[in-house]
Structure 1
Amino acid sequence: MTVSQLWLGVGFLGQALFSSRFILQWIASERRKESYVPVLFWWFSLAGGASLLAYAIWREDPVFIVGQGAGLFVYTRNLILIRNRRRLNGGEQVDA
């Protein structure tokens, strides 16, 4: 396996994680019979975004780097907000 093939695998893995978040959100919404964004959506966003950012850096693609880098701040911030809300609620599960 070449370095290029390895990085291509990282890129495809990131894209798979990133795309899976929409399927996850769709299934969660269907189960609730309303639009719903589960916490796992943000974790998939973060993992997929980080993988895609690494791939973009390897490709030296500034457009891709800026897009994925900015997204990581949003995903991380949402996870922080959810964690803080859970702490205020005594650790109980809350809708995200």
Structure 2
Amino acid sequence: MLMRLSHDIGLIFYDIVIARFDIWAAFGVLAQFVFGARFIVQWIASEKAEKSVIPMGFWVLSIVGGLMTLVYGFIRRDIVIILPQLLSIFIYIRNLMLIAKEKRRVAEADLPT
């Protein structure tokens, strides 16, 4: 039984990594790396500030990685990827809008009257 399982796992691995790997699979893997890099950016910024912070780079990587993943989902015609990415990208953009609004509010408050 274990021999059969190890053989089947080997075939699945071969199918995913070798037989079915194409330019779009490479693009999808790259999209996931870009998307995942945002957590490294957030972690470094938090360590420097010695508190939890979410820098602008986190949102930029979220949007870029999300858009790349969305493209991958459309190419693969995978609704499980497409729907959550559409919602997520909207949330990331909305966060950037809120950040810009706050910066304008602070800038206006700093103006001499």
Match of 1:31 in 2: 48
> Is 2:34 the partner of 1:17?
yes
Larger Rg: 2
Q: Which residue of the partner structure matches residue 84 of structure 1?
A: 101
Q: CA deviation at 1:87?
A: 1.5
Aligned equivalents of 1:59, 1:82: Cα separation in 2: 34
Does residue 8 of the first structure (1) align with residue 25 of the second (2)?
Answer: yes
Q: What residue ranges of structure 1 are gaps of 5+ in the alignment?
A: 92-96
Deviation at 1:39, TM superposition (A): 1.2
Q: Partner of 2:90 in structure 1? A: 73
Structure 2 gap ranges (5+):
1-20, 109-113
Instruction: Give the drift of 1:83.
Output: 1.0
> In the TM superposition, what whole-angstrom CA distance separates every residue of 1:14-62 from its partner, at most 9, and x where no partner exists?
1111000001111111111111111110000000000000000110110
Instruction: Report the identity percentage.
Output: 41
Aligned to 1:56: 73
Greater shift, 78-87 or 43-52, is seen at 78-87
Which has the bigger relative contact order, CA under 8 A and spacing at least 6?
1
Distance 2:27 2:97 in 1: 26
C-alpha displacement of 1:88:
1.7
Q: Residue 5 of structure 1: CA displacement?
A: 2.7
- TM-score in terms of structure 2 length: 0.72
Query: What SS does structure 2 have at the residue aligned with 1:70?
Result: helix
Runs of 4 or more consecutive aligned structure 1 residues displaced over 3 Å after TM superposition = none
The alpha-carbon deviation at position 9 of structure 1 amounts to: 2.7
